[in-house]
Amino acid sequence: MAKVSTPDNELVDTFNRKITYLRMSVTDRCDFRCVYCMAEDMQFLPRQSILSLEELLQIAQRFVALGVQKIRLTGGEPLVRNGIVELCSQISALPGLKELCMSSNGSQLNRLAKPLHDAGLSRLNISLDSLNSQRFRELTRTGDLTRVITGIDAALAAGFRHTKLNCVVLKGRNDDEVVDLVRFAIDRQLDISFIEEMPLGIVTEHQRSESYCSSDEVRARLSEVFTLLESAESTQGPSRYWRLAEAPEIRIGFISPHSHNFCGSCNRVRLTVEGRLLLCLGNEHSSDLKQVLRSYPADAERLDNAIREAMNLKPYSHHFETNGDVQILRFMNMTGG
């Protein structure tokens, strides 16, 4: 096994990148079946193979002790996991953690936004791919647009600040809506990021090669209406930000895994709900933390060592193709997007 020689309270990979951001999937389940994320007839994991809430907390605790400052809870849809609000209060209370964030599809926020805010959740990203109810239903297969918009408004009313909308842009499906989506974001004073579709899992509903829409194309569409000003801001994630001269208070982000590879400054790792630590979104390098946790339940040092050693497996970069070839068989909901 490779020799580890970093300080006790930090995680550094072999390319000298400091790992300060953990994305944790708390469930692979979801009430939506977005066409780019899941197959229509998804098989979900059996209960015994997913981490319990206690195990998720234990892992979060060790990462924070090892220098992680930001945790994002994701999935699947994190808000369909029972006990999620309690998990948020426990993780947000970990000393040293600066931000606890969540990615959600918004469908349960009308009910949960206030309890989540009270539990110490710092920030929300909410997916929104269309403002047309029928299209929204087609893209999510089961989603109800009105309910999601009510959820977004509930998050604002609950006091969440710097909420960001996430929109995966697919050519011929919603690329003609990017200006309207930005106007929606301006009206509610929300940030918005546009995401290039990534080839994770085999989807049958569309050809990924035909639906690919680059961030440059989205920016060109927006530039017909708005004046975009490049910004050097970062939220420690993969988005590159721009501001609008017409509405300088909001940020427009672009997540461009194909056209502007963001690997050089990568500071994050992902935990699947099966307890597999993925070192890179676009590669299979991983370490089985569940096995360590279940074999040695009270041994924090062993878990710390497993996490530190895993850093040596982090590859320099991903290489996604836009020709529709699938290199990674796991779906985004398994990955913890």
Residues lying near ligand SAM in the complex (CB under 6 A):
30, 36-37, 74-75, 77, 103-105, 127, 166, 168, 195, 197-198, 200, 332-333, 337
Span interacting with ligand SF4, options 27-35, 91-99, 190-198, 250-258, rule CB under 6 A: 27-35
Closest CA to 307 of 265, 274, 278: 278
| Region at 60 (left for phi over 0; alpha for psi -120 to 50; beta for the rest) | alpha
Rounded CA-CA distance 255/325 in Å is 20
List own/partner pairs for 207-210 with CB under 8 A and 24 or more apart: 207/324, 208/36, 208/322, 208/324, 209/322, 209/323, 209/324, 210/171, 210/172, 210/324
Binds 33: which of ligand SAM, ligand SF4, none (CB < 5-8 Å by kind): ligand SF4
Q: Which of residues 40-99 bind ligand SF4 (CB under 6 A)?
A: 75-77
List Cα–Cα distances, 161 to 21, 153, 202, 282, in angstroms. Answer: 20, 12, 36, 31
Binds 256: which of ligand SF4, ligand SAM, none (CB < 5-8 Å by kind): none
DSSP-assigned letter for residue 305:
H
Rounded to the nearest angstrom, the gap between the alpha carbon of residue 50 and the centroid of all alpha carbons in its chain is 19
Binds 272: which of ligand SAM, ligand SF4, none (CB < 5-8 Å by kind): none
139 is a site residue for ligand SF4 (CB under 6 A) = no
Contact 178, 194 (CB under 8 A): yes
105 is a site residue for ligand SF4 (CB under 6 A) = yes
Tell me whether residue 125 or residue 235 sits nearer to ligand SF4 (CB atom).
125
Tell me whether residue 33 or residue 208 sits nearer to ligand SF4 (CB atom).
33
* The only residue of 22, 24, 26, 34 in contact with ligand SF4, by rule CB under 6 A: 34
27 is a site residue for ligand SF4 (CB under 6 A) = no
Taking the complex as a whole, how short is the minimal distance between the CB of residue 77 and ligand SF4, in angstroms?
A: 5
Tell me whether residue 69 or residue 150 sits nearer to ligand SF4 (CB atom).
150
Tell me whether residue 38 or residue 66 sits nearer to ligand SAM (CB atom).
38
Contact 254, 193 (CB under 8 A): yes
Tell me whether residue 133 or residue 227 sits nearer to ligand SAM (CB atom).
133
Tally of residues, the chain:
337
